[in-house]
Structure 1
Amino acid sequence: MSSKLSRALGLDQVRPTAAEVDSPMPGDALISRPDAVMDRAFTLRASPEDVWPWLVQLGKGRAGWYMTHRVERVVPRSRRASRIVDQRWQHLVVGSVIPDYGGRDETFTVAEIDPPHTLVHTSRRGRTDVTWAIAVAPLDPGSARVRLRLRMGPVRRKWLVAVAGEAIDLVTISWLAGGLRERVGPG
């Protein structure tokens, strides 16, 4: 993919550092031997406390999945993500179930939550266990680093996850990062 297209899609803005990839994340122990691990990270010009409400309300039938205004223009209005923090989606606890876009009946369950820094979701897709961890850390005053890690195992078709799954995750998280930048401030 050309670097111009990569920049236009925001794909270059969600690359984790080598240290971030190598360091443990909350929820890693929930799948001890994953067949697939996808790491993403980005910086926002907002405090963890300002970023957190946007992350807590993610999900199908909730605030949606944030995308930039430019991308959302081609999405039907009824499917666009929220542009406000909605109090009805701010009350997650361990065990909360969140609908997901992975299929009509797919869900995530909150396995760990430590506001405003850690949110770990779990799911089971067929015979595959999935964890999706989000960690928010303060940087300098007024900035936060958001790290995301998706872990899956066992995976039957590892090559498919390595190619298609990786590409879908990269685009999805790139759009999420761009959508959050528009909502909480430039990043």
Structure 2
Amino acid sequence: MPGDELVPVSHFTATRAITIEADPELIWPWLVQVGFRRAGFYTYDLLDSLGEPSAEKIPPEWPHPRIGDVTAPMTGRATPSTSFRVAAAHRPESLVWSKPDSSWAWQLTRLPLGRTRLVTRLKQRYRPSPSVILTVTLLEFGDFPMMREMLQGIKARAEQRDDQLDHT
């Protein structure tokens, strides 16, 4: 996967995928706007966005990620440990986010009949710290249901196709 080299020693690696009935160009905008106080995470809003619903339309605020841009903030205050930065962006084929000891990659593969296979991979290296037990617990037990819901949320939004851009 793109970005695998960013975390060569990974204690946690999770690869997930979903097939979406939409072209990569309709999925890409949902990926580049992920994050707290952005479009959300398209998952369980109470857990990821303090109860604020994830976007149902594509707001125009974050249309074109550039290398080094803060992306997918996990909290209101973006810090190197709570927010990823764009490490690579090849619209609409792949997007890679990274932060110290972690990478999150997205790969979109065009399929016949206007479909796309969306594959995501999260890699995490654990380092001894007071919060490592919480980090390990959240990743090891929380990743599967949260990522499953996120992929389904992206799928539902990309497949809706009807006037997805928010022009308000």
What TM-score do the two structures reach when normalised by structure 2? 0.79
| Compared CA separation, residues 118 and 75, structure 1 to 2 (3 A) | closer
Q: CA deviation at 1:130?
A: 0.4
Hey, what's the Cα distance between the residues in 2 that align with 1:28 and 1:144?
A: 21
| Compared CA separation, residues 76 and 90, structure 1 to 2 (3 A) | closer
Once the two structures are superposed, residues 69-117 of structure 1 have per-residue CA deviations (whole angstroms, 9 ceiling, x without a partner) of xx65999996111101112111210010125226854111000000001
| Compared CA separation, residues 102 and 78, structure 1 to 2 (3 A) | closer
2:110–2:117 contact (8 Å) kept in structure 1:
yes
| Structure-2 residue corresponding to 1:52 | 28
- Give the share of equivalent positions with the same residue, in percent: 30
SS of the residue aligned with 1:184?
helix
| Compared CA separation, residues 142 and 107, structure 1 to 2 (3 A) | same
Once the two structures are superposed, residues 7-65 of structure 1 have per-residue CA deviations (whole angstroms, 9 ceiling, x without a partner) of xxxxxxxxxxxxxxxxxx00011112212211111111111111111111111121111
1:35–1:155 contact (8 Å) kept in structure 2:
no
Instruction: Note the aligned Cα RMSD (angstroms).
Output: 2.9
Q: Does 1:178 align with 2:159?
A: no
| Structure-2 residue corresponding to 1:22 | none
| Compared CA separation, residues 160 and 81, structure 1 to 2 (3 A) | closer
| Structure-2 residue corresponding to 1:10 | none
| Structure-2 residue corresponding to 1:43 | 19
Q: Which structure dedicates a bigger proportion of its chain to helix?
A: 1
Hey, what's the Cα distance between the residues in 1 that align with 2:83 and 2:48?
A: 22
Say which is worse superposed, 164-173 or 114-123, in terms of deviation.
164-173
- 1:61 is matched with which residue: 37, 40, 43? 37
Q: Does 1:96 align with 2:69?
A: yes
Once the two structures are superposed, residues 133-186 of structure 1 have per-residue CA deviations (whole angstroms, 9 ceiling, x without a partner) of 011111112110111111112444998766641321111111112212221228
Give structure 2 stretches of 5+ with no counterpart.
Answer: 161-168
Hey, what's the Cα distance between the residues in 1 that align with 2:2 and 2:29?
A: 19
